[in-house]
Amino acid sequence: MTTPPPPANDPAVHDAAASGADPSRYPTGAQAFPHRSLLGIAGLETHEILFLLDEAEQWLALNRQPMKRADRLNGLTIINAFFENSTRTLLSFEIAGKRLGADVVNMAVGQSSVKKGETLIDTAMTLNAMRADAIVIRHASSGAVRLIADKVDCPVLNAGDGQHEHPTQALLDALTIRHAFGFKPAQPFTGLAVTICGDILHSRVARSNMLSLTALGARVTVCAPPALMPEGVEAMRVQATHDFDAALEGADVVMMLRLQNERMSGQFIPSPREYRHLYGLTPERLALAKPEAFIMHPGPMNRGIEIDSTIADMPGRSLITRQVEMGVAARMACLEVLTRRARRVPGWEAKA
């Protein structure tokens, strides 16, 4: 895979690199982000999403320096409690916490090794008793992160709960789009056409992105076969279609999702080969989108199924490795903003 191109022509970095979000654009102090935890994009105002994105700019700049270390979270303990297997998200959160100077502890428990039942609450209480300053949670059940957040005293970050939300993924995707198109901080994505194709039904990435991208003003089209399209999805202010070719027409961004076989019981599609036949992003299909359309994928990819290798690696068009880079910055922003109250940052001490 190619490494991301150098960010020299990336105007957004320069604007906000020094100090994060421009205070004159946002409510003062904690009013800019009056939430204790980040459980989802649902419940966030558009300006709160933009605030986090603007805050991420400084970390993006830092991460591109040889010395990638800030000391804002010195002495704080962050626990990554992953009740579901993850490699990239766990690593991304770990790097984000460490680059901010926090002590990061990973608790990787496969769903199989932790019994359900009170154990989940008990685990949360245990983490709480260890006086974590932030807990990052991934869990296989929708709503599990909120359940834990209600039981602990520190901020909780949702790193993916079942089929519900994956808010930091939506933030990193928005940050990636901002930089790909050269949008300025605080600038919405008005009129941008984004097509999300794949297993929408089982995808928390799709849900968070639908909420975030529509809030930012993009026109979102979701595309999936009937069995993988959630009912009533149009109520989330998106267009829904089963026709991939139609969905691609005029798209500025094509976001591909993998089939989440681990969440399927029973047969949802006849075969991977047949899935590719209808929903695989091939060079011929990509030609239906805008000529300069960008390609995204939250990973892990199933090359040759939902996305062809030539597209995944297409220089200048594929943003897939950029997404990974933005992920660290977006997560640093979330961790830094959510711990401001505990760190008694001026204007953030009051109860949010």
Footprint of another protein (CB under 8 A)? 42, 116-118, 120-121, 139, 141-144, 146-147, 161-165, 204, 207, 230-233, 235-236, 265-266
- Compare residues 120 and 193 and give the one whose CB is closer to another protein: 120
**DSSP collapsed to 3 states, 70-137:** CCCCCCCEEEEEECCCCCHHHHHHHHHHHHCCCEEEEEECCCCCCCCCHHHHHHHHHHHHCCCCEEEE
Rounded to a whole number of angstroms, the minimum distance from the CB of residue 39 to another protein is 10
- The C-alpha R_g of the chain, in whole angstroms, comes to 20
- Compare residues 28 and 267 and give the one whose CB is closer to another protein: 267
- Compare residues 119 and 310 and give the one whose CB is closer to another protein: 119
Dump strand ranges (E) for the chain. Answer: 77-82, 103-108, 134-139, 156-161, 193-197, 219-223, 239-241, 253-256, 294-296
- CB burial of 164-181 (b: ≥16 within 10 Å; e: otherwise) equals bbbbbbbbbbbbbbbbbe
What is the amino acid identity at position 223?
A: C
**Residue 90: Cβ within 10 Å count:** 19
Rounded to a whole number of angstroms, the minimum distance from the CB of residue 87 to another protein is 22
How many helical (H) and strand (E) elements, i.e. helices and strands, does the chain have?
A: 12, 9
Rounded to a whole number of angstroms, the minimum distance from the CB of residue 115 to another protein is 11
* Look-up of token digits 């922003």: 333
- Compare residues 42 and 107 and give the one whose CB is closer to another protein: 42
**Residue 109 Cα to chain centre, angstroms:** 21
- Two tokens at 240? 């829904």
**Residue 229 Cα to chain centre, angstroms:** 20
- Compare residues 40 and 185 and give the one whose CB is closer to another protein: 40
Nearest to 305, CA basis, from 266, 264, 271: 271
- Compare residues 136 and 333 and give the one whose CB is closer to another protein: 136
Rounded to a whole number of angstroms, the minimum distance from the CB of residue 249 to another protein is 25
- Compare residues 45 and 292 and give the one whose CB is closer to another protein: 45
Rounded to a whole number of angstroms, the minimum distance from the CB of residue 118 to another protein is 5
Rounded to a whole number of angstroms, the minimum distance from the CB of residue 225 to another protein is 16
- Compare residues 146 and 303 and give the one whose CB is closer to another protein: 146
Rounded to a whole number of angstroms, the minimum distance from the CB of residue 82 to another protein is 15
Could you tell me the end-to-end alpha-carbon distance of the chain, in angstroms, rounded to an integer?
Answer: 43
Rounded to a whole number of angstroms, the minimum distance from the CB of residue 147 to another protein is 6
Rounded Cα distance, 174 and 189, in Å: 9
- Compare residues 63 and 142 and give the one whose CB is closer to another protein: 142
Rounded to a whole number of angstroms, the minimum distance from the CB of residue 334 to another protein is 20
Rounded Cα distance, 191 and 180, in Å: 15
